[in-house]
Amino acid sequence: MAYRWKNTLTHKDVTPHAAFLNRRQLMAGLAAGVGLAGVATGALAQDTLEPNAYEDITQYNNYYEFGTGKGDPAKNAHSLTTSPWTVKIDGLVDKPGDYAMADIMDAMTIEERIYRFRCVEAWSMVIPWNGFELADLLAMAGVQYEAKYVAFETALRPDEMPGVRFPALDWPYVEGLRLDEALHPLTIMATGIYGKDIPNQNGAPMRLVVPWKYGFKSIKSIVRITLTDKEPPTSWNKANAREYGFYSNVNPEVSHPRWSQASERMVGGGLFAKRQPTLMFNGYEEEVAGLYEGMDLKANF
């Protein structure tokens, strides 16, 4: 590994739950009359970031296997069996096989990462994840020299996932990263939120988190990881290649055909919150811009 990501947000930045709820009530009252002009100006400094409430993070989800409404996953995902769980790691690895989730957890060191999370629908959150670097998991399987990409696949269980009865997408959900993106220290496998086990609607028992890319790249409830030498297919790209590229890096300068990406609504801000300007690579430009040096990010969107 080149270096390990140092988190500048710590547990001290996480507003205590009760205080957070109080503050939200206060803000809702203020926002109506005064507006939040002062808060909204300029770039988002790390130290002013406020993680979203646990309820927001776990009740407001896109997980189409459980329905396309934002509240559907929280309502329906309880039916997913997440234990026991196995992850097949195959392709260009030294030790292919079915890895039991329990064994993976035993081998990994869980740490906290407070990341911005930006959806292509132009809303965002701040989420205190718990998890481990994907690089560590890949090292466990032994990535072979010829591997250039990592492909991921979500569980497909029609009995447990009411959303897959309708072909909103071509199931199972698949995603992919270039190997250097996958090995980047910012890229984690999340297994918890706010120190608790990750809820099913957020992708239990293990999901990807790639904080500089749009949320849909961060595939949930992973059952298979395949190392390959070819760019793997990705679900949203298959559904609409004009709108969703393979890279899907958060980029305020590349406008999505249906949503401008220049600004975003912070979830939890209430009805009158001002939009925030979107940051290049979702605020992780310093860490990841190097991965794309020499690439035309308008062509490789």
Partner 1 sequence: MIDRINAAARRVPTWVVYLILLLPAPYTFYLALSGGLGPDPVKPLEHKYGEIALQLLIAGLCVSPLRQYTHINLIKFRRTLGVLAFTYVALHLLVWALLDVQTIGRVIEDIIKRPYITIGMAGFVLLLPLALTSNNWSVRRLGPRWRKLHKLTYIAVVLGGVHFIWLVKGIQLEPLIYMAVILALLALRYKRLLR
Q: How far is the CB of 70 from partner 1 (least distance, A)?
A: 6
Nearer to partner 1, 184 or 220 (CB): 220
- Dihedral through CA 69, CA 75, CA 78, CA 80, nearest 10? -20
- Chain positions 183 to 222 lying near partner 1, rule: CB under 8 A, are none
Q: How far is the CB of 286 from partner 1 (least distance, A)?
A: 28
Q: State yes or no: 3 annotated in a binding site.
A: no
Q: How far is the CB of 8 from partner 1 (least distance, A)?
A: 25
In whole angstroms, give the CA distance from residue 31 to residue 37: 10
Nearer to partner 1, 53 or 193 (CB): 53
Tell me which stretch binds partner 1 (CB under 8 A): 48-56, 126-134, 187-195, 289-297: 48-56
Tell me if 41 contacts partner 1 by CB under 8 A. no
In whole angstroms, give the CA distance from residue 128 to residue 140: 25
Tell me if 168 contacts partner 1 by CB under 8 A. yes
- Chain positions 51 to 70 lying near partner 1, rule: CB under 8 A, are 52-53, 55-56, 59-60, 64, 68, 70
Tell me if 268 contacts partner 1 by CB under 8 A. yes
- Please report, for residues 6, 88, 96, 104, 140, the alpha-carbon distance to residue 107 in angstroms, rounded to integers and kept in the order given: 21, 16, 16, 5, 9
Q: Which of 30, 43, 71, 233 binds partner 1 (CB under 8 A)?
A: 71
In whole angstroms, give the CA distance from residue 277 to residue 283: 11
In whole angstroms, give the CA distance from residue 290 to residue 104: 30
Tell me if 260 contacts partner 1 by CB under 8 A. yes
Q: Are 209 and 189 in contact (CB under 8 A)?
A: yes
In whole angstroms, give the CA distance from residue 94 to residue 161: 33
Nearest residue to 50 (alpha-carbon basis) of 269, 297, 275: 269
Query: ∠114-104-284 over CA atoms, to 5°?
Result: 25
Q: Are 213 and 194 in contact (CB under 8 A)?
A: no
Nearer to partner 1, 101 or 125 (CB): 125
Tell me if 178 contacts partner 1 by CB under 8 A. no
Q: Are 173 and 65 in contact (CB under 8 A)?
A: yes
Binding site for partner 1 (CB under 8 A): 28, 32, 52-53, 55-56, 59-60, 64, 68, 70-71, 121, 123, 166-169, 239-240, 255, 257-258, 260, 262, 265, 267-268, 270-272, 274-275
- Which residue positions form the known binding site for Mo-molybdopterin? 61, 64-65, 119, 154, 202, 207, 218-220
- Which residue positions form the known binding site? 61, 64-65, 119, 154, 202, 207, 218-220
